[in-house]
Amino acid sequence: MSNLIPPHGGKGLTCCLLEGAELEAEKTKAAGLKQIEISSRAKGDLIMMGIGGFSPITGFMTKADWKGVCDDFLMADGTFWPVPVTLDVSQEDADAITEGDEVALYDAEGNEIMATMKVTEKYEMTEADKRWECEKVFMGEGTATAEEFWKIAENDHPGVQMVMNQKAINIAGPVKVLSEGEYPVKYAGVYQRPAESRAIFDKKGWKEVAALQLRNPMHRSHEYLAKIAVEVCDGVFIHSLVGNLKPGDIPAEVRVKCIDALVKNYFVADNVVQGGYPLDMRYAGPREGLLHATFRQNYGCSRMIIGRDHAGVGDFYGMFEAQTIFDKIPTPAEEGKALLCAPLKIDWTFYCYKCDGMASLRTCPHGKEDRVLLSGTMLRKMLSEGGDLPDHFGREEVVAILRKYYEGVTDKVEVKLHGAATGN
């Protein structure tokens, strides 16, 4: 019997991915259905529904779900969920669909039908609806008013841009997933289903597992966070996003090589498991921190490492807002519907010359001039511009991998620094 935390929602892993004869029959049916082209974000959401990563969700959200999640972090049935999981379609496509119809969800980039869906509801997303979603999901506590937020959000916040560019209508309903896309092959040995990570943890006899979220290359601060988790839990799950990021971010395959080098040279390998998941970043700041904890519970993790500026975007959020939000979410009374994966809150970490090692604001009494402030954004900016890194910023093995990558990049994107990256 497993000692791991149960999946979110109280229903076990709810997997919508078909297999065997059922899969082949659904593929045949899908070929004759109306095709709806989906975004990269929706593709990732579908795969997560397919493999149980989004348990207990088995389809795209209704209007009641969408409103409840935005307003109160709760779906219509009272289950905790922090960000909307919706599917947008054009007015033309919506007009051609009747509630009760089945449609095929098509990924143009991969040139394959990813899923079928029974449409149970269609609802309009007006400009006002989109703006309301953005204010609820993306506006941090540091922004005094909605007016102040909108002055910069439409131009500078990728999550806001994603929502505002959505099509006019959302469709809701259960899905049957037909494919995991390119992930099982492209990221073989890293990409995992929740059932697979749970099996690994069970085999190791783990009970308390901490997840480390990565979208940047793993620098010394990440390494330190992971090692703190190893000290207080049975093991750490270094879990990288292998879906789409924003321009200028470092590709997943490069980041995986960096993690491999670190684990090989600087960790007790038995205490670390590396994995990858197929979502696109939503750039939802504190709410995304909650999402990270929610689906990590499905992967078998009881703790989610939340450090400085977790899932941050520019200066939209307070440095530790992704920690404090865990103290403000509702706790549904019904068994299984509450978030059980707890935050492992860790203060701002850095290398201190006077301490002669990694430290945090809780342990180091020295000043800013004695510290090497570490951030993934700063790392990307320095390397993309061919600059030298300060001592102790990154491990030599990792820096060598990243320099080789940047030598081959021809279309470089300017990396903008923000307060969390510079220590201001």
**Residues tagged active-site:** 215-216
Residue 108, phi then psi, degrees to nearest 5:
-70, -40
Length of the chain: 424
Cβ contacts of 238 within 8 Å, gap of 6 or more: 212, 214, 218, 226, 259, 263, 272, 273, 274, 275
Residue 125, phi then psi, degrees to nearest 5:
-115, 95
Q: Could you tell me if 343 and 304 are in contact, meaning their C-beta atoms sit under 8 angstroms apart?
A: yes
Nearest to 287 by CA among 325, 238, 261, 333: 325
Cβ count within 10 A of residue 152: 14
Each residue of 275-296: b (16+ CB within 10 Å) or e? bbbbbbbbbbbbbbbbbbbbbb
* 411-417, long-range: CB < 8 A, 24+ apart: 412/248, 412/384, 413/247, 413/248, 413/384, 414/248, 415/248, 415/377, 415/380, 415/381, 415/384, 416/314, 416/377, 417/377, 417/378, 417/381
Q: Could you tell me if 293 and 116 are in contact, meaning their C-beta atoms sit under 8 angstroms apart?
A: no
Can you read off the two tokens belonging to residue 241? 């996003």
Which 8-state DSSP code applies to residue 17?
B
Can you read off the two tokens belonging to residue 280? 């696109």
* Angstrom distance (rounded) from CA 341 to CA 328: 15
Q: How far is CA 358 from CA 56, 268, 372, in A?
A: 39, 18, 9
* Angstrom distance (rounded) from CA 87 to CA 118: 12
